[in-house]
């Protein structure tokens, strides 16, 4: 079943990637240059999270991810335990996230961050690059930010990243 899941996930990525190449680029969100210190803290935390994912640093991610966190991918959705297991096993290796634009909206103790990215990932032994709008939801509890949700939405724009940067 695990093999069929990875195969299905890879097929979806390939089909959507080829479909995205047929459409003109869409406008991306703009990065604010007037971020509050709290917004900048979330941006920095998100950047650190991408590095931890690339490094397969599940110990740091385990602390960042809330126990009830949900992860929504093109091939399915699951909780914290499955996401950490997927990262640790290399089922999905988030090799590099090239971030083009980021915006953070604050709602009390909740921060919603949007990243316009190209993601280089290895899935089932195959390296793929996809454009995504990634929504990250963080909640501040007892003075600490925890990730509550991470959602990948495939964009219908060509990949911007220079393939030599992979």
pLDDT tens for each residue of 127-166: 999 999 999 999 999 999 999 999 999 999 999 987 655 5
- Measure the CA–CA gap between 47 and 44, rounded to whole angstroms: 5
**Residue-level pLDDT at 11:** 38
Q: What is the pLDDT of residues 32-51, one digit of tens each?
A: 568 999 999 999 999 999 99
85-110 burial, b at 16+ Cβ within 10 Å, e below that, comes to ebbeeebbbbebbbbeebbbeeeeee
Looking at the predicted structure, is the pLDDT value of residue 31 above 60? no
In the chain, the percentage of residues whose pLDDT exceeds 70 is 78
Supply the pLDDT for residue 163. 61
- pTM value surpassing 0.85: no
Q: Domain span at residue 99?
A: 2-165
The confidence score (pLDDT) of residue 166 equals 52
Q: How many domains does the chain have?
A: 1
**What pLDDT score was predicted for residue 162?**
78
Instruction: Tell which residue, 133, 140, 130, has the closest CA to residue 103.
Output: 133
pLDDT at 116 over 60: yes
CATH of residue 134 = 3.10.450.50
Enumerate the H helices of the chain as residue ranges.
2-20, 37-54, 58-64, 80-89
Q: Is it the case that residue 115 has pLDDT exceeding 50?
A: yes
CA 83 to each of CA 15, 33, 34, 55, 109: distance values in angstroms, whole numbers, following the listed order? 23, 32, 33, 14, 24
**Euclidean distance between the first and the last CA atom of the chain, given in angstroms as a whole number:** 30
Measured between alpha carbons, how far is 48 from 114 in angstroms, rounded to an integer?
15
Structure tokens at 18: 């080829």
Predicted pLDDT of residue 75: 79
Percentage of residues in the chain having pLDDT higher than 90: 70
pLDDT of residue 5: 41
* CA atoms of 138 and 102, how far apart (whole Å): 15
Q: Supply the pLDDT for residue 129.
A: 95
């Amino acid at each position: 079943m695990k093999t069929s899941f990875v195969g299905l996930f890879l097929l979806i990525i390939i089909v959507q990637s080829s479909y995205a190449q047929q459409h003109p680029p869409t406008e991306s969100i703009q990065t604010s240059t007037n971020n509050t210190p709290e917004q900048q803290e979330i941006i920095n935390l998100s950047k650190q999270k991408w590095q931890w994912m690339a490094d397969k640093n599940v110990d740091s991610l385990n602390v960042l991810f809330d126990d009830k966190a949900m992860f929504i991918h093109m091939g399915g959705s699951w909780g914290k335990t499955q996401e950490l297991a997927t990262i640790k096993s290399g089922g999905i290796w988030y090799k590099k996230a090239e971030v083009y634009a980021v915006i953070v909206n604050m709602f009390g103790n909740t921060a919603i961050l949007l990243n316009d990215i190209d993601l280089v990932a290895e899935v089932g032994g195959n390296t793929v690059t996809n454009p995504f709008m990634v929504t990250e939801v963080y909640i501040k509890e007892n003075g600490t930010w925890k990730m509550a949700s991470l959602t990948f939405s495939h964009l219908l724009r060509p990949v911007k990243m220079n393939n030599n940067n992979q």
